[in-house]
Structure 1
Amino acid sequence: MESERDNNTSLPLASSTLGGSADVPVVDLSVTDEGFLVREVTKASEEWGVFQVVNHGIPTELMLQLQMAGKQFFELPEAEKETVAKEEDFEGFKRNYLGGINNWDEHLFHRLSPPSIINYKYWPKNPPQYREVTEEYTKHMRRLTEKILGWLSEGLGLPRETFTKSIGGETAEYVLRINFYPPTQNTDLTIGAAAHTDMGAIALLIPNEVPGLQAFKDEQWLDLNYVNSAVVVIIGDQLMRMTNGRFKNVLHRAKTDQERLRISWPVFVAPRADMSVGPLPELTGDDNPPKFETLIYNDYIDQKIKGWALEDLPVY
């Protein structure tokens, strides 16, 4: 594990006191004042590490199609889901991940972009519209991610393309995970996803209407309110490290519901495994020395995984 503190070295216990709903910033991207948008997403990243965006340009119908296709996949017989089962890599379908621990979910995990890293054997062939819908959604995800990274760059006084280039530009890796959390009566003991920060740069998530995502702020767990058709934006470890700590890599987790099925669709955006990532020279200096070591991203992943205690292991 790195000597640096990455806000994930001491995770709050699952029984931490809940603080109610969180007034997580919601940014309306239909606003024509670019300066306003730059200020809003930058402030949210500095103070929260998480925010929601609405009127983001992703067609509502496409989002509904993506959600329908994902739900239909998990409703398939077990034998059919196993046709895209996880093997040696992280990609594929997995049921009851970390089965001996109080994490309960099924999930499907596969790469989206760039084309050179896609392995379609992990993309379900049933429902038949899955590939077409997911590829179209990926195009919108890339556009929205680059737009947000551009505003965040400008918010710190950098050229618009800075963060996009710093994670590899066209070679930045996009990965989809569909989380399927069945209802459970013992919601106090069963966590859908353990407390964690995201290892990559940024994640963009859409949930179904059942709330469950929580962020840790001001020493308490706060529920994120469900906002119809919103995309939740989560700042990850690499943006925190590149900004020398100015952006927060928010600690978050997912809870199950007693009566309703909860599903979420996070898209994780990360540098290539062989890229060096660390504080940007433009954001450091004699009066603000680097707080984090520059590392090859793959080495960072290895160090972080080795530093996890089993009971704290996130589900990526």
Structure 2
Amino acid sequence: MTALQIVDEKFSQVPIIDISALVSQTINSSPTTPQDCDLVAKQIRQACEDYGFFYIVGHGVDEELQNQLEHLSQQFFQQDLETKLKMRMALGGRAWRGYFPVGNELTSGKPDLKEGIYFGAELSENHPLVQAGVPMHGHNLFPSNIPQFRETVLAYMESMTQLGHTIMAGIALSLGLTESYFADRYTKDPLILFRIFNYPPKSSLPSSEWGVGEHTDYGVLTILKQDNVGGLQVKSKSGWIDAPPIPGSFICNIGDMLDRMTQGLYRSTAHRVVNLSTSHRLSFPFFFDPNFHVEVKPIALNDIVVNDDKSDRSYQASVHVRGTYGDYLLNKVSKVFPQLRQTVF
């Protein structure tokens, strides 16, 4: 076997990590042995260095809630465009919420072949951040004609927020930091962004067109629920590999900001999506990020040597992190929907 074949085999499958020990310790407050959490942390570190992606099982998120979310989402996207546009993003204002049709979201300047709904933490009109007009904060738009849609989305976001805290505790441990490192400094009150995307079937799309082209995520942590159709691909050290849906799992990836915070130790990895099926494809990315107003700084990585060779990476990590997370994110997301930029800024 050649050296190239060994590399290809090593990086041919995104790793699967059972995080039940972390869940027991951080959410259920159940006693676990330090060795259990240390093993999870070690696996997270290896995955973040080698792939920037990893599946998680043993997460404890209610399966019935997930099924309900998927069912209601299918109902929404089966409606005609005129009905869906009743909750279009232009009505969400500075909160940056609502529905967009196929082709209205850009990745690297090119239209995506997907439609979707943007959500965030639900805040009332009298919340101080809403009163102050802080971008990306406010109330969500929900379809009035689909019972339980609002309740299901909010319950799912609450569960995923808890899971986000748990995974970030594991990432902190993987870096040799205290379990509460990120919560103490950045994510005690995280910025929550949730999306529901629908990719039309292959038969209705132009040939050789990507649902989402090659890109990296902006933030710290993405937790993705996939339906059973598949189509996600990850750019590993050995080339593009499939990241198919695995029953009972979520797939996680780190974003550009955590890449920068770790000075390139952890990989913000390029990925893309194509729907090769004759069925619609649903995906549910949940973004768990630092507080909008917090100043993000590089992490002091004691006794850790970062490999400076990033020639295999589409994203070049910068060790310089300045300003608030909100400043950074607004600069990024304003390129996704240029037509809404005036509304949000």
Identity %: 26
Higher strand share: 1
1:161-197 deviation per Cα after TM superposition (whole angstroms, max 9, x unaligned) = 1123332312x11111111001124675211112111
Work out whether 1:292 is the aligned partner of 2:315: no
State the Cα distance separating 1:98 from its structure 2 match: 4.0
- In structure 2, relative to structure 1, the CA distance for the partners of 1:220 and 1:133 (3 Å cut) is same
SS in 2 for 1:93: strand
Aligned match of 1:68: 71
Aligned match of 1:91: 97
The one-letter code of the counterpart of 1:36 is L
Aligned match of 1:225: 244
Question: Please, which runs of 5 or more residues in structure 2 have no aligned partner?
Answer: 1-8, 22-31, 131-136, 309-317, 339-345
**Number of equivalent positions:** 288
Which structure's relative contact order is higher, taking Cα pairs within 8 Å and 6+ residues apart? 1
- In structure 2, relative to structure 1, the CA distance for the partners of 1:30 and 1:219 (3 Å cut) is closer
Contact 1:187 1:257 in 2 (8 A): no
1:1-31 deviation per Cα after TM superposition (whole angstroms, max 9, x unaligned) = xxxxxxxxxxxxxxxxxx9x94101112235
SS in 2 for 1:277: coil
1:233-287 deviation per Cα after TM superposition (whole angstroms, max 9, x unaligned) = 110112111112111111111112241211100011222333211312x326998
Based on CA coordinates, which of the two structures has the bigger radius of gyration?
A: 2
Aligned match of 2:114: 105
1:283-312 deviation per Cα after TM superposition (whole angstroms, max 9, x unaligned) = 26998798223232233235556899x9xx
Contact 1:51 1:233 in 2 (8 A): yes
State the Cα distance separating 1:45 from its structure 2 match: 1.2
What is the distance in 2 between the residues matched to 1:51 and 1:113? 29
Aligned match of 1:301: 329
State the Cα distance separating 1:96 from its structure 2 match: 1.5
RMSD after superposition: 3.0
- In structure 2, relative to structure 1, the CA distance for the partners of 1:306 and 1:35 (3 Å cut) is same
Higher helix share: 2
Aligned match of 2:154: 135
1:179-229 deviation per Cα after TM superposition (whole angstroms, max 9, x unaligned) = 100112467521111211111111111011011111111252211022012
Aligned match of 1:28: 18
Greater Cα offset, 64-73 or 296-305 = 296-305
State the Cα distance separating 1:121 from its structure 2 match: 4.7
Aligned match of 1:264: 283
State the Cα distance separating 1:151 from its structure 2 match: 1.1
What is the distance in 2 between the residues matched to 1:223 and 1:124? 34
Q: Runs of 4 or more off by more than 3 Å in structure 1?
A: 98-102, 113-121, 185-188, 284-290, 301-308
Question: Please, which runs of 5 or more residues in structure 1 have no aligned partner?
Answer: 1-18, 311-316
